[in-house]
A and B are shown apart, each in its own frame.
Chain A
Amino acid sequence: MARLEIVDIDRCVGCMSCVFACARRYGDAGVSKAAIRVSSIGGVERGYKVIVCRACEDPPCAAVCPTGALVKRKDGGVLLNPSKCIGCGNCREACPVGAVMWDIEQNKPIICVHCGICAEYCPYDVIKLVR
């Protein structure tokens, strides 16, 4: 199994190709289903931040899940069992990186599965999938 790594954030140009790629995995356009986010760090001239799950070995999001919907993934991070999730939002609160995105339509977290589609579409080698 693999995990995503931010190789060099200073190469990011803020094009959001990664965000759109992640959302497109279900075949629709837009960004609401994306598990990755890009925004400036206070004015685009100062650069960007890319927020995505960093595949914690001991993930705080799983620790606070009251229903066991988030289970530890081999190689770090978590997997979501949507049928168990009650949408309490504890996981979102627990992640200091802010990498647990929220699906407003489903009222459930959007959990990165480290598939690497974002890295495939990054034109400037900001992110990569480490195996």
Chain B
Amino acid sequence: MYRKDPLKNVLYIDLTNKKYWVEDRKDLFEQYLGGTGVAVKLLEEELPRNADPLGPENVIIFAVGPFNAVYPTASKTVAMFKSPHTGNLGESHAGGRSAVAIRLAGYGAIVIKGASEQPVWVAIHGKRVFFRDARAIWGMTSSFTVGRIIRENEPGSGFRTIMRIGRAGEKMVTYASVITETYRHFGRLGLGAVFGSKKLKALVVSGRSTIPIADKKAYKQVYNKIYQLLVDSPLMKKYHEIGTPINVMHLNEIKALPSLNLQKAELETADKISGEYLAEKYLGRRISCAHCPVACIHLAALREPYEDEPYFYKTTFIGYDYEPIYSLGSMLGAKDPEGMLRLMDTVDKYGLDAMTTGVVLAWATEAYKRGIIDKSDLAGVELDWGNYEAYIKAVEYIVDQPTELYKAMARGVAYASKKFGGEEFALSFGGNEPAGYHTGPGAYFNYAFGARHSHLDMAGYSFDQKTIGKEIPPEELVEKLVSEEQWRQILSSLVICFFARGVYKPEIVVEALKPLGFEISEEELKKLGEEIYYNKYRLKIREGFDPGKIKFPKRIFETPTPHGMLKPEYFEKTKEIFKQKILQNITV
């Protein structure tokens, strides 16, 4: 890498002693580029074995890579930590302005250690770090208000990120999110709870420096090539126009849209929560992450009257995407979009992971209907498909936890169903609730064995949809999907938004690295992807992950997929193949 690139600087923040320092970690960035590759090494260094995810010994890493603030649509930051939700490796990615702000503040990574005694927010403005008293904003009902207050208290408008938690994070709900720029999230695996356990209400980063480039002429040329590919690509149109919710109708048609806690894979009223319908009736604005021309972020404008006074309205902007529509819409039997939008807004107000929250509510609804839990467990809330007043109340209770059931629901479906029953219809894989694709074997192999248990690890859902009508031998499935996940380690080390994966092909990545002083071949890149992948799995296994112990909930075998009925034997085979593959490549 170019010697003048500030990427090598790692900022360490000690919340216990309110100290900070910078270390030159050129060694890590030269070898692993940045992002995921560097974050996993930093976490391995800093995290004590078997650390309590909610103890001060847990560590939060934010890492960016050489492409952030340098090339378009390299807009993501990687967060790594030990997850309080799965008790294992936590990794979550978010956009907004986070990546550009961290990179232009002059850092490649930020390591947050220890825990504060009093609530604080930390502000990083270039070289200076401030510990601010957050007692006055701790316990505030809405994360939106927290964002507004910090926005008015901090400099750096236009070049800053404001990452914050809501009350769910303060209460350490194991799937609490960290919200950034109001509509983007480090959603999965409970980073918000780790913030809460450290009494860290928010992290502000601003920066507007220059990133010196080794070969300026070549840089401009490659930049133009990538920019043109991006704006001309059909994917850009797809994500910009209807956005990710284009999936709703498509998945409904092929009967792969998980509905009513996956008792069905299609919803009668799917058209009312579809991307097309929302775009036509509610879309108020589309916005972008910093340095990404795509602008995939869709905000609905929901206009609601107050009942106590005529002509008195409020208009709320609510970010929507396919995944929250699945989890808070189809899974809960939405009949119209308004209740669903209000539930999305509530989930964001408290700062919860939308996907897990929806799956938890869907499990509880079925459990209630089957008589496994009763009205008193639910503190009087009568859960029923499509009843959004009830769902909004239940989300409030997941945060306030008035009963043992809500305490359990605040730890996800695996925990709640173990305690109350209904494990056969509790959708959880490796401790994490799935994304919205009942597409076939690829999706479920992906949820179970992706290093983050995220659909984006290896896009099993996409593989399924490309192979409808074909029998995929388990060996082939494992091989194809694991190699996809390995390549994605490179993308998330650079750090590129996966939506641009079609543009950032290996040959383009090699070409784009060159002007930044990284000489690496396609072959070497692929090898590096494998290495980062196994580094991650090594850490997972060190922290107690055993692929042999992964269980598949019965429900997924009861509802037909576009690949027909799935069979448990098939997954047992993939599990064995996968386990052998991991064991052959890792020594712990």
Contacts and interface: CB of A to CB of B under 8 A. Distances in A.
Interface of A: 13-17, 20, 23-24, 26-33, 37-40, 42-45, 47, 105, 121, 123-124
A29 B70 contact: yes
B287 interface: yes
Nearest to A20: B291
Given A45-B285, A45-B299, A123-B293, A27 B210 contact: no
Interface in B209-237: 209-213, 216-217, 219-220, 223, 227, 231
A39 B97 CA distance: 11
Nearest to B316: A45
10 contacts: A13-B288, A14-B287, A23-B210, A26-B216, A31-B104, A31-B210, A32-B210, A43-B147, A44-B287, A45-B287
Contacts of A13: 286-288, 295
Given A30-B69, A32-B210, A47 B290 contact: no
A119 to B, nearest CB: 14
A31 B104 CA distance: 8
Interface in B57-72: 69-70, 72
Given A16-B290, A33-B210, A40-B157, 11 more contacts: A15-B292, A15-B293, A15-B294, A17-B72, A20-B69, A20-B72, A27-B213, A27-B216, A28-B213, A30-B104, A123-B293
A15 B286 contact: no
Contacts of A20: 69, 72, 291
Contacts, number: 95
A15 B216 contact: no
B272 interface: no
A113 B73 CA distance: 27
A65 to B, nearest CB: 24
B567 interface: no
Nearest to A45: B317
Contacts of B69: 20, 29-31
Interface string B260-299: 0000000000000000000000001111111111110001
B295 A24 contact: no
Given A28-B211, A29-B211, A38-B158, A123 B231 contact: yes
A26 B211 CA distance: 11
